[in-house]
Structure 1
């Protein structure tokens, strides 16, 4: 229990500091990136905020909530923690990490041009794009959560991504610059296909997380379901 609490505290401190450092000390010249939206134009930064919120809530839940695998007497902070991890923290972190390093391996100029290296330190890059994956995977295997209904989780996840796609285009139409260089090399039909692929990919990551949770925590899931049926009777 103590190790889990310290892990959540480390995650909260790490991602909060990463967001703070990025916002205060990483100043990219306007010629290198559109200024509208500030850091909030990047999915990486939005995800880091999500991770900061999640690990802070997880830490507070360790102190004041309940980590038991039961539906009864489940405090509000625990319910928020569970749905936040399932619907956003896990799938978005996996999406950001996999897509970033995947594109980086093909051509880093499409995702993080070398011209930005003087402004974006390597350690921060790993906090934002590597540690997010490591921490949510450790969280998945070290803390039990009961997944919400697919409808509610997918509604939250889809709304988050659709809102971000709209936000990216608002920035483009206001500044005539794409947030990510990769979008500039795609024509509109291919760009739409790219967005649909991203939405499908992050959805598959959600289902993968749900399946992994069921495998890792099979006994707890079964116990929770039985507890819920007894309570319903």
Structure 2
């Protein structure tokens, strides 16, 4: 790949990692102290998957084995879970915002983190599909 795509996906990876750091360090965990309890929600599961995937994509520029793992992850988890998560969130949000997030929770989550978890995955998946030719075999 080119230096431009490497720089672009390195930037994406930095955005993912710093957003996850903020979520782990700064966001409240209602009823639990461990972050792992937040993974029961599809949004947070997709968030963590995307963070790991973005790091693997960047490291895949150097290591061919990681590129093949990224190909496998793209087709088995990243694409389907990302599309479903974002589609469900914005579909339900268009009907009634309280269906996906009551007002008291919306006050706890910054607007930018909400977009990182519900809009950014679609943008990332589309750009990843455009810049990287993924193979459906491992």
TM-score by shorter chain over 0.5? yes
Distance in 1 of aligned mates of 2:30 and 2:107:
11
Structure 1 runs (4+) greater than 3 angstroms displaced:
none
Whether contact under 8 Å (1:86, 1:148) holds in the other structure is: no
Q: In structure 2, what is the equivalent of residue 4 of structure 1?
A: 5
- The answer for unaligned runs of 5 or more in structure 1 is 66-74, 150-233
Q: Equivalent residue for 1:116?
A: 105
Indicate the structure (1 or 2) with the bigger Cα radius of gyration: 1
Corresponding residue of 1:16: 17
C-alpha distance 39-29 of structure 1, shift in aligned 2 (>3 A): closer
* Separation in 2, partners of 1:28, 1:92: 23
Paired position in structure 2 for 1:56: 55
- In the TM superposition, what is the alpha-carbon distance from 1:117 to its structure 2 partner? 2.1
1:97 counterpart = 2:97: no
Within 1, Cα distance between the matches of 2:11 and 2:47?
Answer: 14
The answer as to whether partners of 2:72 and 2:136 remain within 8 angstroms in 1 is yes
Query: 1: distance between equivalents of 2:109 and 2:103?
Result: 10
Structure-1 separation of matches of 2:4 and 2:78: 20
Structure 2 unaligned runs (5+)? Answer: none
> What per-residue deviation string (whole Å, max 9, x for no partner) do you get for residues 55-104 of structure 1?
11110111x13xxxxxxxxx321210110111111111111111100011
Paired with 1:28 and 1:49, the residues of 2 have a C-alpha distance of 16
Q: Contact (CA 8 Å) 2:27, 2:109: kept in 1 or not?
A: yes
Query: Structure 1 residue 125 and structure 2 residue 126: aligned?
Result: no
Deviation of residue 28 (structure 1)? 5.3
CA contact (8 A) 1:23 1:39 kept: no
Q: Take 2:39 and 2:29, find their aligned partners in 1: how far apart are those partners?
A: 14
Aligned ranges 1:69-84 → 2 under 5 Å: 75-84=64-73
